[in-house]
Chain A
Amino acid sequence: MGMSWARAFAASGPPPVFAAIGAGGLQRAEELHGTLRLQRSPRQAAILLVLGEIAPDLLPFLQRLHDHLPHPRATIWHRATPPGDWTDPVQATADGLERTLTDLWRSILSGDRASEPDFLPDKPPNEWRGVGPHGQGGKGMMGGTPYGRPMAMTDDDLRDGLSLDAYSAPFGPFLPMLPPGLILDLTLQGDVIQSATATRPPCPQPGSDDRPGDAIARLMRVMDMPALALRRTRDGLPPAMGIAMLRRAIPDGLGRARDGTDVRDRLDRWRDKDAPQADDGTRLSDLLPGLEWHEAMIVLNSFQPDRIRAICARSGPEGGDEDDKDGNRDAPAHAPPDHGGHQHHDMTGPAA
Chain B
Amino acid sequence: MSLIVGLPALLALLLIGLWAAAALDTAIGRLIVGRPVGMAATDPLRAVVADYLRQRTDTEAPDHLNWLLAPGYYFLLAVVGLALVPFAPDQSLIALDTSVVLWGAAEAVVVVAVFLHGWSPNAPFPLIGAYRYVAIGLPVMLLSMFVLIAASIPAQSLDLRAVVESQRGLWNVIRQPLGLPLFLAVVMSLTLRGPFDYADSADLAGGTSAEDGGPRWIAWQTARAAMLVAACAIAATAFLGGYLGPVLPGWLWLSLKTLAVMVAVVLLTHLVPRMPVARMLTLIWIVLLPIAFLDLLIAGLGAL
Contacts and interface: CB of A to CB of B under 8 A. Distances in A.
Interface of A: 6-7, 9-14, 16, 34, 40-41, 43-44, 46, 68-72, 109, 124, 147, 167, 169, 175-177, 188, 190-191, 220-228, 230-231, 242, 245-246, 249-251, 254, 292-295, 297-298, 342, 344-345
Contacts of B107: none
A317 B52 CA distance: 44
23 contacts: A9-B49, A10-B49, A13-B39, A16-B47, A40-B206, A41-B213, A44-B213, A46-B50, A68-B57, A71-B55, A191-B128, A191-B277, A225-B270, A227-B28, A228-B32, A231-B33, A246-B273, A249-B275, A249-B276, A293-B128, A298-B276, A344-B281, A344-B282
Contact of A10 (B53, B124, B197, B273): B53
A169 B128 CA distance: 14
Contact of A228 (B30, B210, B211, B271): B271
A10 B44 CA distance: 10
Contact of A249 (B51, B204, B209, B273): B273
A13 B274 contact: no
A34 B29 CA distance: 11
A177 B210 CA distance: 13
Contacts of A109: 50, 53
Contacts of A124: 60
* Interchain residue pairs A-B with the least CB separation, the first 3: A13-B46, A43-B213, A10-B50
Given A46-B54, A225-B270, A292 B278 contact: yes
Contact of B35 (A34, A43, A72, A342): A34
B168 interface: no
B35 A191 contact: no
B132 interface: yes
Interface residues of B, number: 54
Given A245-B272, A292-B278, A44 B206 contact: yes
Contact of B275 (A6, A177, A250): A250
Contacts of B210: 40-41, 43
B194 interface: yes
B197 A70 contact: no
B46 A10 contact: yes
A191 B131 contact: yes
A223 B54 contact: no
A294 B203 contact: yes
B124 A169 contact: yes
B144 to A, nearest CB: 22
A65 to B, nearest CB: 12
Contacts of A34: 33, 35
Contacts of B205: 40-41, 175-177
B217 A43 contact: yes
Contact of A70 (B29, B33, B56, B194): B56
A191 to B, nearest CB: 5
Contacts of B203: 177, 222-224, 293-294, 297-298
A70 B54 contact: yes
Given A191-B128, A224-B197, A245-B271, A70 B50 contact: no
B276 A295 contact: yes
A14 B39 CA distance: 11
A302 B17 CA distance: 39
A126 to B, nearest CB: 11
A231 B32 contact: yes
B295 interface: no
A221 B56 CA distance: 27
Contacts of B197: 224
Interface in B194-219: 194-195, 197, 201-206, 209-214, 217
